[in-house]
Chain A
Amino acid sequence: MTTYYSEDHEWITVDGDIATIGITKNAAEQLGEIVFIEQKEAGDDFAKGDEIGVIESVKAASEIYAPIDGEVIEVNGTLEDAPGSLNDSPEGDAWIYKVKVANAAQLEELMDLDGYKALIG
């Protein structure tokens, strides 16, 4: 398993052709206390850069952008009733989607942990 990071502050852990996507701890801290998430449904296709959800904190709404092309195969349904878990465990239990990777070459355009750490300073 390899974990990649996007400039939109998502983490993408890849196991074979299945990727699990979530938001980073840094993103959750910047958003503040999260009170709502809108997710796509299993079966939805998306292209890199598409809006694939919305997270709302007490402060504001933020879109989730797809870091790669793919298809949603599983949605973390626990988040709808407990959006606060995105603050508590953004890189653990509060993953957002499992997706089928459509174009593995796109993963190489993402950052590794060191690159992401450099991005957020």
Chain B
Amino acid sequence: MTDTPKRTPLYDLHVELGGKMVDFAGWEMPVQYPMGIMGEHTQCREKAGLFDVSHMGQVILRGENIAEKLETICPSAFTKLPVGKARYTVFTNENGGIMDDLIVTNAGDHFFLVVNASMRRQDIPHMAANLNGIDVIEIFDRALVAVQGPKAVDVVGALCPAAVDMKFMETIVADINGAVCRISRLGYTGEDGYEISIPDADAEAVTRAFLVHENCEPAGLGARDSLRLEAGLCLYGNDIDNDTSPIEASLNWAIPKRRREEGGFPGAARIQRELAEGVARKLVGIKPDGRAPARQGVEVQCANGHTIGAITSGGFSPTIGAPIAMGYVSTAHSAAGEKINLIIRGKAQPAEIVSLPFVQQNYKR
């Protein structure tokens, strides 16, 4: 990535708020504000945190039979996705690996998608090439802001009463502070909250209006990562990638019965085989016994000293006050309670397989 990093419409506001700016997937984004990663993390668990996620790719699909066509490149079901509802899915490759994960929303006369910032350049041509007769329109003039936490409903509701009664994975178009926004009740923290797509020109004013609320503070990418890890949510490029299948990643819930039986998506043979026969490795939660964080790439060994896998995401959990991690291990050693060793800087550190998530998800069902 040699291009000059891009800036979101909220760049000046981040700097004004004391955000420490870093290059992330080609974008200059705040990793933290003066409150610090732990403070921002706790703010989001207890009150509300506001994240700029404008680097993510927002895409509109227009045309006939969008749902059916999306099902040819994703293993999820969209034909019965009601208007105003969003769904998590993945693009699979011919080998049943994951090309990206994304949120698909039925917006009535079109579909609205949000894809990973780092995969925009892959996903847009991929859809354009494979969704025959569908216009794939990447949006370049809208910001995306996430307000997450138990008080998010108060923060967003104060400016948009219609948001209060929405349920998890519902989406509406509504006025906020005079701007026409798409508001979706979902997120990447395990908390209740919203992601709000805002026209660039209004993004700073709407964001400032949210931040006026006494329970809302800005939060950066650092807290976003520790929050999603506690919630057991996969990060593309770490926990899921072109080699890992949705079944290995325990994303079976994203593939409903009809799709499992019918197939008809890239890599269906592998995914159907794994569903029938089981997987050789699985994504699991890992809790080190000691204080040393186990980062991405750390080798996992069974009690007998054989390599059984590797950490894909790891760090410190502010909520638990101890390190946590996720990683792939051979299925024979994947049961919760299994004692393992993590090889950190050449030394075996004891740890245990645990069920995900580390911190209970708190969605508005």
Q: A residues touching B (Cβ–Cβ < 8 Å)?
A: 32-33, 35-36, 38, 54, 56, 58-61, 80, 83
Contacts and interface: CB of A to CB of B under 8 A. Distances in A.
Contacts of A83: 291
Interface residues of B, number: 16
Contacts of B357: none
Contact of A35 (B31, B32, B293): B293
B285 interface: no
A24 B36 CA distance: 19
Nearest to B322: A35
Which 3 pairs, one residue from A and one from B, show the smallest C-beta to C-beta distance?
A35-B316, A58-B37, A36-B291
Given A33-B36, A58-B38, A58-B226, A38 B292 contact: yes
A32 B32 contact: yes
Q: Is the interface of B mostly helix, strand, loop or mixed?
A: mixed
B258 interface: no
B315 interface: yes
Interface of B: 31-32, 36-38, 222, 226, 291-293, 295, 315-316, 318, 323, 345
Nearest to A32: B37
Given A32-B37, A33-B38, A59 B291 contact: no
A59 B37 CA distance: 8
A56 B36 contact: no
Contacts of B226: 58
B222 A80 contact: no
Contacts of B323: 35-36
A56 B322 CA distance: 12
A59 B295 contact: no
A36 B222 contact: no
A58 B345 contact: no
A71 to B, nearest CB: 22
A58 B291 CA distance: 12
A118 to B, nearest CB: 23
Contact of A33 (B31, B37, B291): B37
Contacts of A60: 295
Given A32-B32, A38-B292, A56 B316 contact: yes
A59 B31 contact: yes
B36 A36 contact: no
Nearest to B31: A59
Nearest to B293: A56
A90 B22 CA distance: 25
Contacts of B345: 38, 54
Contacts of B38: 33, 58
Q: Indicate the member of B31, B222, B291 with the most A CB atoms within 10 Å.
A: B291
A56 B292 contact: yes
B316 A32 contact: no
B295 A58 contact: no
